[in-house]
Chains A and B, each alone.
Chain A
């Protein structure tokens, strides 16, 4: 009952015209930066943070939050249309989303990702309201040993991302891990693989790597296929998902939501991993895994739901403990602090208006996003008809601006171009970039947490088995790895391989 009263109070604040306006600006900017490759929510939020200082804390934070979850909506658009992820969490959406677009099903792909995002976003908010304080303990139950085992589980996910040769995927993963090692060693602060370059001390950024491997490489590979517009040739039959699409997507959306929500709570987990994990889960559960990679709508619905639910889950540790689980949340923490509010265990009781107002505004923002995004689908699909000689220079321009904006370093632009060239050759010889990106994200976390757990356990390896959460993660990883070796599973894998070989 008290919760209902609070929710009512929150809507009272969120529905104030000024807050509605800020919420709309937030989700609109969010959609925009999500769609534009390279420009992610981080650069947009840090640029807009000073602007919010003049208004009330509610308005400012409502807008900043809107940018964040808005970008999760928008991020899938370019993944689907042109095979370039708008932001890192949408990398996995490229795999099946773009295949769908090639088959003339860009509309349903965009539709299911918007609707799936809406469902997941709404669920995450209800969960945020009802169980936020009790879930706070989940975030701190994870110590280094638990994270290590979770990362092991994450790397097993790799085996489900591969379209073709497993050896090639593992090679890519190894390269990803090595790239992730660049920079100061996280335990001893010794520089590794920096070749004396100051720019490499912090390692190379995820944004330039992703934008290079996907964005620039996609443009390069397309320029040589002389205007072979397969997208246009396939007739666009429908704009919204049909009944069969919904039937196929319901399960993935539900599972993706729950998976994303919980991974979102964990510091360092976040939306990137949740979208990869959801994809792997759906492929594993599917009766027809061979469809994945060839335009399976489940491969779009699940990950898109997951990364939106993760965006909601990420608010829990921030609002209840003052612990931001990712960079975006850290920026939001900064926004709270400059407005004189310290997120933490006392925030909900000391600033109920602020907390409930923000949560209520997220409901409204989600509805706004849906209203904003559904009519846009028709427009986005039209965008595919834009001649390549206009579209491609624009994509390159936006990726360069985006990458430069995220750090103000020209070096990052060079990194992106280098990865663009690498990505081009990778595609020419049939190597997938997705395993590289996942390993690049997980590798350093795996290493860092392994070493921290061993410091804490004084070198005792049993720590990973003795701690229950860690043991469960490792057990699932083993089942997933050994599973395919069992006869019935092996048959399934062979079928998949055959399909792909054909």
Chain B
């Protein structure tokens, strides 16, 4: 429900510059937005729970249990926050439950599990891969990373290095997939565009036509300005 089959989005502000984005993000509707908000809230609350468990464990390891009977420190300070956390963990039923969970799990299990939970909570739901075509400069592929923490991985190929751009077919399991390939001069490996999503043939063909039109069609040779040199 949160993702669709890969679909194509084209941004083309001028005829010689275009960005082809293949994404699994469905079109935005109200229901989808609500779902997103729900998911976000879930992520935040789960990570808070994980953090609280870790904090409880840390307090237990440290062994100093400050009783909630002391006068609370001034508002808007770090001590106040610690005080509130301690109070939460010791008095409320949810807090005591968390503290009991933290106490029952051994440390070598707790830490990797917490790390795995944080990683799972930071995973992206949808994938996005794009191809930016700039006449006179080159093409640039980019892939959205797996988590929200990392940046997009991009690869820029100057026009001079592009030997060819073509659509190829390959077996993948029991099906034949069509994929767009940029052949780079002087490199052993070709660059596959949209490597993770591998969209349908129709999308690939559209992108291929668009790229060739953007890069090469009606290209006039512009001469070097002789007045300067």
Do A and B actually bind?
no
